[in-house]
Chains A and B, each alone.
Chain A
Amino acid sequence: MKELITYIARALVDHPDEVKVFEVDGGRTSIFELRVSKQDIGKVIGKEGKTAKAMRTIISAAASKLRKNYILEIME
């Protein structure tokens, strides 16, 4: 799952090297913190959060097989 988030984020930003994902494991629900370069924050959030929403949709689809909940946080 972490790889999936990293991969999507890297594909979207201009500075893929600065993409970092941290996982906070909480049993049934895990939180992923996504950090990107300052200039790229807009790219992963998108217009009215559209990109962020699309990423969360993809994550929940991938998660449905794993019977787990994932929360994606975009950190500044």
Chain B
Amino acid sequence: MDRKTLDLEGKTIDEAIEKACKEFGLPRERLNIEIVSEGSSGFLGIIGSKKACIRASVMSFDLAMEGDRDNEHEQKIETQPVPQTASDPMEATVADDNGESLAVKAKEVLHGILQRMGLDFPVNIDETHDTINLRIEGDGSGLLIGKGGQTLDALQYIINKATNKNGKERKRIILDTEDYRMRREKTLIALAEKLGQKAKRTRKPVTVNPMNAHDRRIIHLALQDDKQLMTKSRGEGNYRKIIILPAKKN
């Protein structure tokens, strides 16, 4: 039985994490928690509440450190064959300690790609318990961002795939350059507010252009607290879009 990763539900994220700790018999710090969906008590209490869902796994850092502490976690950490052409002295020192951490691997792949694109920019790493944030110190040309962030998203997607392909330990990798993510979030919130006003004024649903899950989430969250509005997503895959509805008057 594979107990490497477990999906758990709870009323809140904290409750789900607590369950995960019991399930693995390990303290919180030893687990990798990935939030699949945040629970909500329902939009304005009109739509039913959603359970929080998390994906938990044992940190493979611990596996490497303690070896076969426990039969279930016996699998060895393999060092992934990352083509190592991008070698700068900084990286080498970090990569040395026991295998390679995901963050180092992610940075290496990103650096390798950038070099071959002829964009040899420095990359900063910032790691939290479930995400790795990579910040490219760009030249401000926006080349790495692309139209609507498509180049940045494509890079982020590829790096996630390449880094997490061996799948024992997984972390979400977030790529950013020139503060694009933050600027984008601000723009989206402004857009959400503008369209929200329109929905209230006209008392009719307003449709937002199709966007990816991350962008939709920002809009949902931006309008979450507005009691006069409701947000829904409609459509499939790339065409999924948000509809902002004026809330029904009770």
A11 touches B157 (CB 8 A): no
- The interface residues of chain A lying within 8 Å CB-to-CB of B157 are 50-51, 54
CB contacts under 8 Å to A, within B149-174, are 150-151, 153-155, 157-158, 161-162, 165
The digit string for B139-155, where 1 denotes a CB below 8 A from any CB of A, is 00001101000110111
- The interface residues of chain B lying within 8 Å CB-to-CB of A8 are 113, 158, 162
The digit string for B87-118, where 1 denotes a CB below 8 A from any CB of A, is 00000000000000000000001001100111
Closest partner residue, chain B, to A62 (CB atom): B117
A12 at the interface (CB under 8 A from B): yes
| Interface class of chain B by DSSP | helix
- The interface residues of chain B lying within 8 Å CB-to-CB of A4 are 113, 116-117
Known: A10-B83, A11-B82, A65-B143. A54 touches B158 (CB 8 A): yes
B25 at the interface (CB under 8 A from A): no
A25 at the interface (CB under 8 A from B): no
Task: Specify which of A16, A50, A62 is in contact with B118 (CB 8 Å cutoff).
Answer: A62
> Once bound together, how far apart are the Cα atoms of A4 and B83, in whole Å?
12
B161 touches A61 (CB 8 A): no
Closest partner residue, chain A, to B166 (CB atom): A14
- The interface residues of chain B lying within 8 Å CB-to-CB of A53 are 154
- The interface residues of chain A lying within 8 Å CB-to-CB of B146 are 57, 61
- The interface residues of chain A lying within 8 Å CB-to-CB of B81 are 16
**14 residue pairs bridging A and B, Cβ less than 8 Å apart:** A8-B162, A11-B109, A11-B113, A12-B158, A16-B83, A46-B161, A54-B153, A55-B154, A55-B158, A58-B113, A61-B117, A61-B151, A62-B118, A62-B119
